[in-house]
Amino acid sequence: MNTINPTRMTLRRPPFAYRREAAAHWNAARPEFSQMVNAASLAMPYLEPYLIKTMREARPLITDPALAAELDLYCRQEAAHFSEHRRFNEELKALRPETIANIEAVLADDYARLGRERSLRFNLAYAEGFESMALALGHMLIEDRAFLFGGAQSGVASLVLWHFVEEIEHKNVAFDVFEHVSGSYMWRLIGLFYATGHIFRRTRSGYQQLLKEDGLWHNLRSRLALARMILRIFAKLGPKFLRILNPFYHPSTVADPAWMLAWRTLHKTNETAAARLDTHRLHEAIPSSCPV
């Protein structure tokens, strides 16, 4: 089955704006979720260059010109993602430089070692595992967007939702490259569980450090709110994750969310509007921007 659609992906650079003073708790009603997302954002300038490097190492082995073109555009999208996350992360770092420098040092070492010490097969399996997990996560974030991002700072909410719209857009690429070069069901599962476990472990360590600095980690009310948030996320993520375990799984079989398609239309007509979503109206089926 041909799963390549060379017109599917689009390279975008929406003009996001962040408020430094609110960067840490950009969702004031859900500071625990804010720091979970912040910890994940800190990984992007290390994870995504690693994914790009892995894909570029595989490119000489690609014999399908359409897939090679998809790989190139995937790399450009991922480069735009980590560049924008780095810009946001600089706002976080200005508020708490020592803690964030410590988190970043661990991430930098992790991905440098993976790229240096692991085989191309392993790194492709990791990339595919991460992208399959990101597809599931993107669907979950979009479906639960009103709860997770409602009333939050527009710039950060818009950044995260843009990122995952594009994760869904390029959902086939890492899978198809992995299958083309060295795919096997066993290695696909190895990559899925290693990548998911690694990302979740580092994200947890990151938000734990950030919440400690906030004085919330040992606050009973905050810990209960965090536990409820984690349970909600995993309850919604679980079924989407389980479908990846099917030996016949292919990401092309996962239908795109209607809200994502509406966001793409909004961006085509007004990229500024797509970068400043009205977080008080995220429950609506059509994305809308903040009033001027």
pLDDT tens across the length of the chain (292 residues): 333 343 478 999 999 999 999 999 999 999 999 999 999 999 999 999 999 999 999 999 999 999 999 999 999 999 999 999 999 999 999 999 999 999 999 999 999 999 999 999 999 999 999 999 999 999 999 999 999 999 999 999 999 999 999 999 999 999 999 999 988 999 999 999 999 999 999 999 999 999 999 999 999 999 999 999 999 999 999 999 999 999 999 999 999 999 999 999 999 999 999 999 999 999 999 999 987 5
Secondary structure letter of residue 256 according to DSSP: P
Q: Which residues contact 234 (CB under 8 A, 6 or more apart)?
A: none
73 occurs within a structural domain: yes
Question: Has residue 13 been placed in a domain?
Answer: no
Q: Show the tokens assigned to 194.
A: 């290693």
**pLDDT value of residue 7:** 44
Note the pLDDT tens digit of each residue in 164-181.
999 999 999 999 999 999
- 256 within 8 A of 140, measured Cβ to Cβ: no
Q: Is residue 10 part of a domain?
A: no
15 three-state secondary structure: coil
Whether residue 287 is contained in a domain is answered as no
Contacts 24+ apart (CB under 8 A), 278-286: 278/154, 279/149, 279/150, 279/151, 279/152, 279/153, 279/154, 279/157, 280/150, 280/151, 282/145, 282/146, 282/149, 282/150, 282/157, 283/146, 283/150, 285/258, 285/259, 286/262
Domain annotation covers residue 89: yes
Say if 161 falls within a structural domain.
Answer: yes
For helices 258-269 and 154-169, the axis angle rounded to 10 degrees is 110
pLDDT for the residue numbered 292? 57
pLDDT on residue 171: 96
Structural domain of residue 135, as residue ranges? 28-253
The widest CA-to-CA distance across the chain, in whole angstroms, is 56
Task: Give the type of residue at 200.
Answer: F
Query: Residues in the chain, how many?
Result: 292
**pLDDT for res 290:** 85
CATH code, domain carrying 209: 1.10.620
> Domain for residue 118, yes or no?
yes
Give the number of domains in the chain: 1
Question: Could you tell me the CA-to-CA distances from 84 to 143, 160, 218 in Å, in that order?
Answer: 23, 10, 32
What CA–CA distance (Å, rounded) separates 178 from 223? 39
Q: For the segment 33-59, what is each residue's pLDDT rounded down to a tens digit?
A: 999 999 999 999 999 999 999 999 999
Report the C-alpha gap between 151 and 58 in whole angstroms.
42
- Residue 178 CA to residue 126 CA, distance in Å, equals 10
- Angstrom distance (rounded) from CA 166 to CA 152: 21
For residue 227, the model assigns a pLDDT of 98
Nearest to residue 14, comparing CAs of 284, 282, 270?
Answer: 270
Task: Determine the pLDDT at residue 5.
Answer: 41
Structure tokens at 253: 């079989």
DSSP secondary structure code for residue 29 in this structure: T
Q: Evaluate whether 155 touches 188 at the Cβ level (below 8 Å).
A: no
- Model confidence over 269-289: pLDDT tens digits? 999 999 999 999 999 999 999
**How far from each other are the two terminal CA atoms of the chain, in whole angstroms?**
47
Judge whether 282 lies within some domain.
no
